[in-house]
Amino acid sequence: MKIGRFFLLILLVELVLIFIGYLFTHFLILQRNFAAVVIATLVAFLPTIVAYSITYSGLEKETTAFIGRLLGGMLVKMLIGVLSIVLVALQFREIRDEYVVSYMISYFVFTGFEVYGLMRKLRANKLK
């Protein structure tokens, strides 16, 4: 899947996750911080785009460096997430729960779409 198409798909998924977070924070689980949900999905969204772009460009240039770029991108994405969770857990205790839950859900959803997009690209390269 091309980078522009992936970006639009992930952006749509992010908007859906934010909308679901809005429904949960305003209607189902009252008195929760909606801003924490939005920030958590953004923190999961941005490194996913960067990691996918790095991995996709590595696949375009040379397939031998693909695994290294894939693991490096996912490692950086995971480290950003762990650091953000630790920061929120230590500094912003009042929004800790909704941030961590929102981040983890967003992280796994975006990682699933990232793997799906890269597998489609790998299948296309294999057929060439």
Instruction: Average pLDDT across each block of 10 residues of the chain; the chain has 128 residues. List them in order.
Output: 86 91 78 84 91 82 75 88 93 88 92 86 64
Vertex 58, ends 56 and 62: CA angle to 5°? 125
The domain limits of the chain are 3-127
- Give burial (CB, 10 Å; 0-12/13-18/19+) of 110: buried
* Contacts of residue 74, Cβ cutoff 8 Å, sequence gap at least 6: 51, 111
Instruction: Tell me what pLDDT residue 30 has.
Output: 60
Q: Are 114 and 51 in contact (CB under 8 A)?
A: yes
Considering the entire predicted model, what is its pTM?
0.83
The pLDDT value given to residue 124: 60
What is residue 93's predicted lDDT score, i.e. its pLDDT?
86
Burial class (CB in 10 A: 0-12, 13-18, 19+), 82: exposed
pLDDT for position 80: 92
